[in-house]
Structure 1
Amino acid sequence: MAQRNRSTESRRNDDWSVHTSKERYVAGMVLSGAGDALGFKNGDWENCTSGAQIHKELNSLGGLENICVKNWIVSDDTVMHLATAEALIQNKSCQDKENLYSLLAQAYKDSMSDMKGRAAGLTCMEMCKRLDPYKQNGYRIPYSTSGGGCGAAMRSMCIGLRCPRPKDIHDLVEISIESGRMTHHHPTGYLGSLASALFASYAVQNREICSWGVGLLETTRLAKSYVRNKGLFVDENMKDWDYFVSKWEQFLNLRKLNDGRWPPHFSVDFDDVRKRDQFYRMISFENTGGASGHDAPMIAYDALLACNGKWEELCKRAMFHGGDSDSTGTIAGFLFGVLYCFQGVPKCNYKQLEYRERLENAGKKLYGIVFSH
């Protein structure tokens, strides 16, 4: 990973788009679904609190290289991620944001009809009922003290594909926040949406991976200004703002990435799944790693830092742990795909993936919108 980081950083220039292929967009979308299906395992592993038990069951199935996801459905994460992507594609332009937000709200409402067996989050379901997409401001919901979950973070990576350039940062901030708070109107929730979208854009840019966390903290300052200027429940938002930021500051301090420079620091025993579970619980909100807006992208990012470009290692850390493993798996799989395409990924992990064609098409169309000009 260190070698890749140095080499990709040396290639960065004003024409970084020459390094971006359509395959990277497709792989990001497809492997987000694969990461979801693997972490979910039809609900069995999402609800398992022991990473050690998951690894034991994985070994009994012949290991990751023998896992065919044909009969492993995707969870609500992929259904809502596709809803986001397809609304972005339908709107095409980032200029007509009111239309985009109406399309997103309608897509989220429509996605609720495809949640059988997918363990849809209660917050998403309840808030989608409140959305009135084609009424003025009907995509907005009131502030919610219980809106800090990961339901916005797990569906927003494709926003980074739509707004991948450094010059797109204001659009990325606005769209990720507004789409996020359609169901999760709490900074811990919608800043998770921002984190996933931002990391996706960094992956497209080939930005040095160890600098992503610092970049996120810098971008939260733009986000704070946006929320203040928008004028919606400002006092409530500002009161709860610091939790997300402080958690990320603590995490970067633990990994010794405060300056955004390689290498991250991992303790020797972090290869032990039990120790990872313990760590994920420690950084979580209510003892379930990956269930909140701050730690779902955090765990995915942590796994990406440690995997050295190896799919199996990423899965061990992001998809197979005793927490919200489908959400962290969705985000991690996406980021891996954009960085490494399908390198080292067993075809059985994605070839017969549910909604694979829709995911592929979304990646191709988003690429076409961004790079056709």
Structure 2
Amino acid sequence: MDRPASLQHYKAAMLLSGAGDALGYRNQLWEYNESGPAIHQELKKLGGLNNITVKLPDWPVSDDTVLHLATAEALATGKEGEELLQEVAAGYVEAMKDMEGRKPGPSSILGVSQLRPGSAGGYRVPYNPEGTGCGAAMRSMCIGLRYPNPEQLSTLVAVAVETGRMTHPHPTGFLGAVASALFTSYAAQRRPITTWGRGLVKEACPIARSLVRSQGFAVKETERDWSYFSEKWEWYLQQRGLAEGVGPVLWPAPYGPTERDVAYKSFSLSGWAGRSGHDAPMIALDALLGAGPDWEELMGRAGFHGGDSDSTAVIACCCWGLLYGTEGVAPSNHLQLEYRDRLEHSADILYTLSH
């Protein structure tokens, strides 16, 4: 992991994010299973993670990967500023035509239906007090692949905020996009994982807040609803002993599938773990902190729990792939993955653009 992020790492990031999504989703069966222990039992019956061949028709990607690809392919055009935002908006409109059996969330459906790509400001949608879900977080990791360097932080934040707001204009929703993009950039920088949460709260969130104020769009509503995201993250960092960004990480003992279901629920906004913009990246980070370079452990924590398991896995696996590549991952988990070519192709271009 001390080697800088190579093209192979970029490909692994995009590819494994899709694999994690397909595995955590299990064609709707696991995303909607509320018991981590039950999922782990079913996994055992399937012969374990290494025995699963991720391919159609049984293991499709969900809306998470389709929308992540839409973000990545828009970024891969090399456009910037307003031109880029129009491109992303057009990509989301197109992606919504590919949602059969993929279960997009209500805010994503509503937001995209209100986008008017090509018209002035057509990438903006009205403020939605319900737009707290994880739909922006789960499709924004690739922004960190496009803008991986510390000096690009304000660009990364601006792109994450504005693309996040296209469907999730509530700060709990769009700051999730900032978190996912930021964590991917930190993985590319090889920044210690123990510092990521503090970086989000202390570095990225203040930049996001200034940006929202400077744009003059839905400022009053956004300010009113701002504090929950950072407060919940500060609470989580206290729980793990990471408020100052240095370890050691404090873990509950034991912390198996049963205990994780309880813990993840305590992270959540409304009792559905990983469903919201703040806690999908939180569970992903928790899994990365606990799993190290062990793919099976990562999936056990990020992808097989009684919450929004595909959305937490898609974020965690993108960062993990960028850190560790595909080493230690059973080839059957990704070789026949749906949209494999598109995922690798976008990784290729994003790597070139970022260097």
**Identity %, equivalent residues:** 51
TM-score relative to the length of structure 2: 0.98
Aligned match of 1:77: 64
Cα distance in structure 2, aligned partners of 1:74 and 1:249: 32
Q: CA deviation at 1:345?
A: 0.6
CA deviation profile, 1:196-222 (whole Å, cap 9, x unmatched): 000000000000110000100121011
Cα distance in structure 2, aligned partners of 1:62 and 1:145: 44
TM-score relative to the length of structure 1: 0.93
Q: Is the 8 A contact 2:5 2:323 kept in 1?
A: no
Cα distance in structure 2, aligned partners of 1:236 and 1:316: 38
Cα RMSD after superposing both structures: 0.9
1:166 is aligned with what amino acid?
Answer: P
SS at match of 1:345: coil
Q: Is 1:207–2:191 an aligned residue pair?
A: yes
Q: Is 1:36–2:15 an aligned residue pair?
A: no
SS at match of 1:269: coil
Cα distance in structure 2, aligned partners of 1:146 and 1:134: 26
2:162 is aligned with what amino acid?
Answer: E
Q: CA deviation at 1:125?
A: 1.0
Aligned match of 1:314: 298
Cα distance in structure 1, aligned partners of 2:295 and 2:133: 26
SS at match of 1:261: coil
Out of 273, 280, 288, the position equivalent to 1:304 is 288
Give 4+ residue runs of structure 1 displaced > 3 Å after superposition. none
Aligned match of 1:12: none
CA deviation profile, 1:157-191 (whole Å, cap 9, x unmatched): 00000000111111101000000000000000000
Q: CA deviation at 1:344?
A: 0.7
Aligned match of 2:320: 336
Specify every segment of 5 or more residues in structure 1 that has no aligned partner in the other structure, as ranges. 9-17
Q: CA deviation at 1:93?
A: 3.9
Q: Is 1:368–2:352 an aligned residue pair?
A: yes
Q: CA deviation at 1:123?
A: 1.2
Q: CA deviation at 1:369?
A: 1.2
CA deviation profile, 1:113-141 (whole Å, cap 9, x unmatched): 10000011121111111100111001101
Aligned match of 1:53: 38
1:112 is aligned with what amino acid?
Answer: M
Q: What does 1:1-373 align with in structure 2 at a 5 Å threshold?
A: 8=2, 19-71=4-56, 72-90=59-77, 92-94=78-80, 97-218=81-202, 219-270=204-255, 272-371=256-355
Aligned match of 1:11: none
Specify every segment of 5 or more residues in structure 2 that has no aligned partner in the other structure, as ranges. none
Cα distance in structure 2, aligned partners of 1:23 and 1:265: 33
Q: CA deviation at 1:59?
A: 0.2
Q: CA deviation at 1:83?
A: 0.1
Q: CA deviation at 1:263?
A: 1.8
SS at match of 1:220: helix
Cα distance in structure 2, aligned partners of 1:26 and 1:262: 30
Q: CA deviation at 1:67?
A: 0.7
SS at match of 1:34: helix
CA deviation profile, 1:39-81 (whole Å, cap 9, x unmatched): 0000000010011110010000000010111130000000000
1:209 is aligned with what amino acid?
Answer: I
Cα distance in structure 2, aligned partners of 1:19 and 1:278: 36
Q: CA deviation at 1:309?
A: 1.1
CA deviation profile, 1:291-343 (whole Å, cap 9, x unmatched): 00000000000000000210000000000000000000100110100000012
SS at match of 1:126: helix
The structure that is helix-richer by fraction is 1
2:67 is aligned with what amino acid?
Answer: M
Aligned residues: 352
Q: CA deviation at 1:262?
A: 2.2
1:349 is aligned with what amino acid?
Answer: N
Cα distance in structure 1, aligned partners of 2:275 and 2:152: 28
Cα distance in structure 2, aligned partners of 1:246 and 1:330: 24
